[in-house]
């Protein structure tokens, strides 16, 4: 049995659909209480742990960095220490936000980190804690997570399309939208690999391809749904947010492919599946 921290988030929801997992919600294992999370691991003795829970309110984290750091930093550290103690592999989902976010080249797992906002700093604390724990692990950095559930860009665009026929969308941030279903599948494959071969421990990247701007992503959403919405490209400077966003969220995923055989998903195919699911549920 694989133990999953998180139950209602995008990736946690897909993990429950995809594999033999026990998903713990906040009522059973709150990451703001890291000690309890470690106790759950010791009591349940799973074959592997996937941490799919996080503080994800990027802008709110600017005012609440202490709590974000407990949930994204301290909890993964303590979870990893418990996994090391019990010799259980850990797959931990991290973020492209640990990077500085400039340039035009895809970020490699070994590139220097330099987070530009509180959320990114909190995620980096978690990564460093896992690396120092001695646990067999895969830190899986991903980006632009989307699905038919939870709060995400696809659902926001669909909601806004019902009340507007013109939308201004940022065009100078480039990255890879990543369907939560594909992330869940990757996590399960990686967990099995780590059980079989702990030497594969390390930091990896996993995001959708091809790279695209938010504006072009929005245009594809509307194209696939045949909605008559005009997308007006704007700059990041024209859409200020409390937390600084990276302009470059491109991810180099080659080591994930070579180590685990997990290929980058085509987000356009994943988007089509998400839109079909949304059509059924609305």
Tell me how far the alpha carbon of residue 142 is from its chain's centroid: 5
Helix (H) or strand (E) holding 92: strand 90-95
Q: Are 24 and 7 contacting, i.e. CB atoms less than 8 angstroms apart?
A: yes
pTM: 0.96
C-beta atoms surrounding 281 within 10 Å: 8
pLDDT tens string for the chain (282 positions)? 999 999 999 999 999 998 789 999 999 999 999 999 999 999 999 999 999 999 999 999 999 999 999 999 999 999 999 999 999 999 999 999 999 999 999 999 999 999 999 999 999 999 999 999 999 999 999 999 999 999 999 999 999 998 999 999 999 999 999 999 999 999 999 999 999 999 999 999 999 999 999 999 999 999 999 888 999 999 999 999 999 999 999 999 999 999 999 999 999 999 999 999 998 765
> In the annotation, is 119 catalytic?
yes
> Where do the domains of the chain lie?
2-281
Catalytic residue among 55, 97, 119, 204: 119
> Domain 2-281 is classified in which CATH homologous superfamily?
NAD(P)-binding Rossmann-like Domain (3.40.50.720)
């Amino acid at each position: 049995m694989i133990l999953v921290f998180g139950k209602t988030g995008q990736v946690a929801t897909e993990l429950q659909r995809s594999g033999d997992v026990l998903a713990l919600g906040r009522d059973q294992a709150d990451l703001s209480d890291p000690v309890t999370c470690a106790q759950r691991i010791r009591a349940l003795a799973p074959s592997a742990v996937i941490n799919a829970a996080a503080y994800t309110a990027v802008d709110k984290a600017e005012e609440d960095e202490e709590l974000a750091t407990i949930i994204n930093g301290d909890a993964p550290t303590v979870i990893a220490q418990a996994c090391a103690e019990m010799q259980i592999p850990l797959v931990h989902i991290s973020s492209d936000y640990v990077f500085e976010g400039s340039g035009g080249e895809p970020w490699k797992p070994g590139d220097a980190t330099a987070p530009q906002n509180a959320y990114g700093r909190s995620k980096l604390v978690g990564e460093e804690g896992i690396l120092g724990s001695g646990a067999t692990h895969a830190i899986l950095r991903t980006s632009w997570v989307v699905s038919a559930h939870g709060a995400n860009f696809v659902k926001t665009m669909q909601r806004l399309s019902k009340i507007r026929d013109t939308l201004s969308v940022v065009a100078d941030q480039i990255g890879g939208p990543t369907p939560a279903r594909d992330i869940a599948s990757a996590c399960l494959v990686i967990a099995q690999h780590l059980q079989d071969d702990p030497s594969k421990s390390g930091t990896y990247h996993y995001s959708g391809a091809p790279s695209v701007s938010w504006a072009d992503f929005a245009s594809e959403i509307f194209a696939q749904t045949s909605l008559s919405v005009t997308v007006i490209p704007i700059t990041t400077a024209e859409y200020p947010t409390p937390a600084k966003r990276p302009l470059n969220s491109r991810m180099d995923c080659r080591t994930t492919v070579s180590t685990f055989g997990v290929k980058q998903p085509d987000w356009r195919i994943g988007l089509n599946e998400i839109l079909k699911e949304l059509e059924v549920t609305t």
